[in-house]
Structure 1
């Protein structure tokens, strides 16, 4: 009897575990798929009102106007008249899959001990079973740059798609970029060290910048030497210096961004991206001159400076676009993993504050793809690219109408069911029964 009770308990645990697991990744595409009649938002500013989209073996083979074509539609046909088709949205600078529950240490793998950690790779810590990652798909967020946090040099990010068995299946671009947290020239007083509260000059700023420059110089000397003694952090810098790995510098202040531009020149960094850039508008001309794109932080926040316009976070992306910069949107900050599902609505807010709707869409499609270096495979609905897309009942940048009916990642049709949709249906049924 005792044995049977134990067996029952283990069976129950196994059953509950299966009930709460992520949706099983979709099977590979086996037949062509044809989507007819939808308004296709290509992702590069172009719109096709009555579109014909065909993809097979995970790649787009036709994206065109369906009005005049007489071709026979191959494979499975989806009638999408009155609906909208979009490329999968791309979330840069994200810790999705690195932390599941903030209060549970065993699920938090976004940071490592140390300061200069270019050899740390976020990819191998990425959890494809994350329920948070799963919840991105019903809003059309299908690709992300998984980024470590902490230290002066946090480590190396990789780019994944959100339907996979493990990180090896998920990866689209491995070790795409190095992430650096630039020092602040002003900082809040550290009360735990007896400093007065409030903003004050960081007297260590020059030394902190010098420390970073010295690390780059030492790494370059190591790579040019005989390498008799293995040094993993220095060795990890090789692809930074040869241009195969981009450098993403997380920085906000005007002075700091100016120093970053000089840092780029001093170390001959061809591929550098500013992440955050709250005061980037003040040095926009210098950023444009040095071909530095900006990943602007989400607009749903308060202004960083007391003398900023109240709506500066809402309109910053538009103002930078008007200056001729390549601009994308990222979602870091409080509750960033859960809030990443709001990425399309952040773009919608930017559109509401002056940027034309299709230009706002580019901030989370082709612009982000270009900034991350994956525009050859993602970011637009174009022949030859991955068939990563979704069909929405309405405007995907409006939370009232972004209701998805179909999602495809690399041609595989992905389930829209998540832990949250299950709970939604459960409680909707409860209230529907009570109202009868």
Structure 2
């Protein structure tokens, strides 16, 4: 009996040992590739059509960069010595790295597995919650962005009234500290809804009806900011972390991203923060923002639009109104960017350039659509001094594509660089594609 028990114990130990070895081996097999090292080789990209990111293009361009910074942008006909490795990109296109605003990339991996979701904290007023702390650079979803040219992202929390604080990261890093491009760039507020649906499971009418708590919820936001302002005006013995997190909001160093749709809700938000003396505002979502374009323009408030692929929300609204919203706002002089919140947002973020392409096809034009996800997003996120356009002195964060990067048929990257580092374009998806391509080619 004792001998059998010892044998069983030995077998269990072997099972555990072999299981650990298996998971260690397979974990190594599926782990994200090693981030690229610091740039040590200079590069000259010659002959490509350069999409600068500010609405202009240079045919037959020459772009050179060294030590992570762009050192020359101009015509390939320029009589200037090329530096380092010369990349012949004739017939191809070069773009600044695309920037995804308002996304939860790296904050969740599998929606159906609660343990992998880390974008929402318990509580309502949470300006002190920093999303970047939870950002997972090893996410397999994050690595799948790079082959489509998405090289930077604003990592944004969700939930509550004040969700927390976002940060901007580059998408090839060892950890969140290495990934940071701009830390704690903005706080995010989910503006109360002025209409609500009845809870059918409680026997209520499931149709839309005015939200009787709308005014009360708006008042809570106003009181929270007023209390924070009073707190910050005095020397305190006890530290209040949520109020402390608003210090940079009041001094103008941190933006307030208000997630709101509907012209009444957007107008209410603008008026509330204007009365509080907070000017650095951004509207996120922005459905019906074009109806109050003059107000947005006068307050110098940018809009981060959601994806164009959505239905009109009103019975009397043009069927293609969502597709034309970027054009309407841009023509009104509003700074417009493109965000990624919505259904399956992390997986769909890889389609960012194609959403911009939809806006391009509905009146905006190709170069202005490129601008949505390069210079405009960079300006809105406060990183336009180092990212967003192909200009001398800015970070060499760019990529080369075989064709039009806003068209999935042309968005085929050959090289990509983040801060001058030549990054890998391999992902678990490209490996599977190559694997099964061989199967069906046989």
Q: 1:232 aligns with which of 236, 241, 265?
A: 241
Higher mean displacement: 314-323 or 190-199: 190-199
Is 1:221 aligned to 2:221, yes or no? Answer: no
Q: 2:320 aligns with which of 266, 286, 311?
A: 311
SS in 2 for 1:363: helix
- Alignment equivalent of 2:278, drawn from 269, 272, 278: 269
Unaligned runs of 5+ in 1: none
Note the alpha carbon deviations across 1:74-107, whole angstroms, 9 max, x for none. Answer: 1111110010000000000000000100011111
Taking only aligned residues, the RMSD between alpha carbons, in angstroms, comes to 1.3
How far the C-alpha of 1:23 sits from its partner, in A, is: 1.4
Contact 1:61 1:384 in 2 (8 A): yes
**Alpha-carbon separation, structure 2, partners of 1:228 and 1:194:** 50
* Greater CA drift, 188-197 or 211-220: 188-197
Q: Find the counterpart in structure 1 of residue 74 from structure 2.
A: 64
In the alignment, the residues of structure 1 paired with residue 162 and residue 39 of structure 2 have an alpha-carbon distance, to the nearest angstrom, of 40
Range 187-196 or range 385-394, more displaced: 187-196
| Partner-residue secondary structure (3-state), 2:290 | helix
Residue of 1, 8, 11 corresponding to 2:21: 11
Contact 1:184 1:253 in 2 (8 A): no
SS in 1 for 2:304: strand
Q: Which residue of 1 aligns with 2:46?
A: 36
1:52 to 50, 59, 62: 62
Q: Any idea what SS the aligned residue of 1:364 has?
A: helix
CA distance in 1, matches of 2:75, 2:171: 29
Paired residues for 1:390-405 under 5 Å: 390-405=399-414
The counterpart of 2:180, out of the listed 171, 174, 183, is: 171
Deviation at 1:326, TM superposition (A): 0.5
Report the CA distance between 1:31 and its aligned residue. 1.6
- 1:287 matched to 2:296? The reply is yes
In the superposition, the TM-score normalised over structure 2's length comes to 0.96
Higher Cα Rg: structure 1 or 2? Answer: 2
Give 2:436's aligned residue: 427
Residue by residue over 1:250-296, the C-alpha shift from the partner in whole angstroms, topping out at 9 and shown as x without a partner, is 00011111111101211111210000010101111111111111001
Q: Which residue matches 1:160? A: 169
Which residue pairs with 1:200 in the alignment? 209
Is 1:411 paired with 2:420?
yes
How far 1:5 sits from its partner (Å)? 6.5
SS in 2 for 1:353: helix
Unaligned 5+ residue runs, structure 2? 1-9
Counterpart Cα distance in 2 of 1:384 and 1:22:
31
CA distance in 2, matches of 1:323, 1:23: 44
Partner of 1:227, secondary structure, is coil
Match of 2:147 among 132, 138, 147: 138
Task: Measure the CA separation in 1 of the matches of 2:247 and 2:358.
Answer: 40
Match of 2:381 in 1: 372
Residue 192 of structure 1 and its aligned partner are, at CA, apart by: 4.1
The alignment of Structure 1 onto Structure 2 pairs a total of residues equal to 432
* Distance apart, 1:371 and its partner CA: 0.6
- 1:212 aligned to 2:238? no
> Aligned in 2, Cα 1:221/1:194: closer, same or farther, shift over 3 Å?
farther
Q: Give the whole-Å Cα distance in 2 for the aligned partners of 1:375 and 1:6.
A: 52
TM-score by length of 1: 0.97
The aligned residue for residue 340 of structure 2 is: 331
